[in-house]
Amino acid sequence: MKRIIPFLFLAAFFFSCKKEESKNSEPSSVNKELQTKINSWLDGQKPKTQPNKAANVELLKDNLDFSKLSIEKSKENEQIIIVPVKENLKVLKKIDASAIVDLVLILDKNATIRSGDIVLATSLDGKVKNKVPQNTFYDIYNTSHVGWDSKFKFLSVAGRLLYELQYKSSKLYSTGIVSTKRDSSLNKATREMEASCTDWYLVTTYYDQNGLIIDQTWDYVGRTCTGCDDPDYEGRCPEQYGEGTGGGNTSTVYEYTTIQGNSEDALANFEEEHQDVNTGLIIRNAAYEWKCGTGSSMIFPSSYNWQYWSYETAVLEKVVSVDPWQFQSLTHSSIQRIGQTPPSHEYTQDLSYAYSNIASDGLTARMNIQFVVYERIAGTTQTKSWSLPASTVCKAN
């Protein structure tokens, strides 16, 4: 027995170590599936005409630690995939040693990668962290209330600096967007150079506790020219993707605005009846209004909420029946925005189409519209848009 017991102990210890090694080194089958999907997506982000940037994407692939992959739920059945980046990449690309580096991707409800960024996170409270706290990226993308005094730099997967976000006291403190600006005072030679070259600025906007802009700075960060292929991280050179080559599928603006279409019955305002001088029919005009969309700021939802209202006009004909009025026509007039939008953003809307369908009995008519809302971050050229379908039923009586 003295010989058997040590052998059993050693065997148990050996298999225990193998099990622990397997647990730490072998990702789950789900993670393996995600790893394949992520690597395939990254391959599609390699610019074919920019070998340095393509090499950056390949270097990122080689330094992803899939064994520590984590998933956070997001809005609309989406998922946030967080893959830590190994320290080796920080050394090779001269990234701040105190930064936590992750690849952060958004999977839509169909499990398709719709965006992905490299995120460099640093602490502003003097407390050193070796990983971003759980659910921080959920709050970045969905609530803006991040409980860690911190700064996040968002880079494309090829290393280009896109934007920065800072949080203090659980609120958004500043946004920094890499943008361009026009100067009409430039001389002809300079304007000709700008046709092939672009000057870039980091436009940093600071907010108070109520979301009001208290300051904005423009810091020159460099110039890029046609054909650039900057290998540095936090560079300015845009990725160039040829037609049919894919790529470019990265988010460039944080998602703190919710805008959606709306469908509801219209409110009616009927005018006095009168006789049509051309047909002799008794008619009356009607005006309809209805809420076709809503918008809100996730940063300060109680302060900034707005609505989109659509206005229609109709001609109604009087007939002999229990319900005496029927539609002759229903025409779209306009869309207006009503309510308070955040001062840090500018919003405009354009109509894509509008058409009506009158019911066979003439008692109701449906108006169908689609409109596009454009959002621009104040002081920058960064824009985002929503295409919103909406419809309403108008009643003749």
Residue-wise pLDDT for 313-336, tens only, equals: 999 999 876 678 999 999 999 999
Residue 264 in this model has a pLDDT that exceeds 70: yes
Residue 23 in this model has a pLDDT that exceeds 70: no
Q: What is the largest CA-CA distance in the chain?
A: 117
Beta-bridge mates of residue 356: 367
Sign, CA torsion 294/298/301/303: negative
Distance CA 83, CA 64 (A): 6
Render the burial of 90-121: b for 16+ CB within 10 Å, e for the rest.
beebebeeebbbbbbbbbeeeeebebbbbbbb
| pLDDT for res 254 | 58
pLDDT digits (tens, 9 = 90+) for 32-54: 888 999 999 999 999 988 999 99
Long-range contacts of 315-320 (CB under 8 A, 24+ apart): 315/283, 315/284, 315/285, 315/286, 316/270, 316/283, 316/284, 316/285, 316/286, 316/396, 317/281, 317/282, 317/283, 317/362, 318/273, 318/281, 318/282, 318/283, 318/284, 319/362
pTM of the predicted structure, to 2 decimals: 0.68
Distance CA 198, CA 180 (A): 7
pLDDT digits (tens, 9 = 90+) for 172-208: 888 888 888 754 444 444 545 455 788 888 888 888 8
| pLDDT for res 85 | 96
CA angle 350, 354, 358 (to 5 degrees): 160
SS3 175: strand
Burial of 242 (0-12, 13-18, 19+ CB in 10 A): exposed
SS3 205: strand
| pLDDT for res 342 | 78
* The pair of three-digit structure tokens given for residue 125, joined into one six-digit string: 């409270």
- Cα distances from 147 to residues 131, 168, 171, 261, in angstroms, run 14, 8, 8, 32
Mean pLDDT for 258-262 is 86
CA angle 245, 251, 252 (to 5 degrees): 110
Phi, psi of 393 (to 5 degrees): -110, 125
| pLDDT for res 301 | 61
SS3 187: coil
Distance CA 343, CA 207 (A): 10
Answer for the pair 206, 215: CB distance below 8 angstroms, yes or no: yes
CB atoms within 10 A of CB 181: 12
Residue 80 in this model has a pLDDT that exceeds 60: yes
Q: What mean pLDDT, rounded, does the chain reach?
A: 82
pLDDT digits (tens, 9 = 90+) for 272-286: 999 988 888 999 999
Of all residues in the chain, the percent with pLDDT exceeding 90 is: 47
pLDDT digits (tens, 9 = 90+) for 107-139: 988 899 988 999 999 999 877 788 999 999 998
| Amino acid type, 111 | A
Distance CA 3, CA 136 (A): 54
